[in-house]
Amino acid sequence: MGSFGALAVFILRLIESTRDPGKILGWVLRIIPSFSFSYGILNIGAKKTYALFDHRKDIPDAYELDIAGGDILMLLIEGVVYLLLIFVIEKINHISSITRIFTNE
């Protein structure tokens, strides 16, 4: 899903009639870490293309939210959330009453 989804959203953002749905879909799919990573790299490489298609005089900065800033932000948030989720799951696994329920002891 990561690289193919990033490429699909990139193409949607280039076509003027699908630019807004492409941006929305990009934010929805940023929940998937592999998509965020590949989409951020793709967007950094396509800064000049976005400036051309958006009729901008200046080239956007790599850390803008529409380029790679949103992807970096989501990867940081997901990293913290998934790390906390690992700690919660490990804590639940060490509670003996809950472990007996799942192991039928």
The SS3 assignment for 14 reads helix
Tokens representing 75? Answer: 């990867």
pLDDT of residue 99: 64
The verdict on residue 104 lying in a domain is no
Number of domains in the chain: 1
The verdict on residue 52 lying in a domain is yes
Whole-number Å distance between alpha carbons of 28 and 22: 10
The verdict on residue 62 lying in a domain is yes
What confidence tens digit (pLDDT) does each residue in 16-62 have? 899 999 999 999 999 999 999 999 999 999 999 988 888 888 898 99
The verdict on residue 82 lying in a domain is no
- Which residue segment(s) compose the domain that 35 sits in? 2-76
Residues 70-78 have a mean pLDDT of 95
The verdict on residue 102 lying in a domain is no
The verdict on residue 94 lying in a domain is no
The verdict on residue 85 lying in a domain is no
The verdict on residue 37 lying in a domain is yes
6 Cβ neighbours under 8 A, 6+ residues apart:
35, 38, 39, 42
> 51 phi and psi, to 5 degrees?
-65, -40
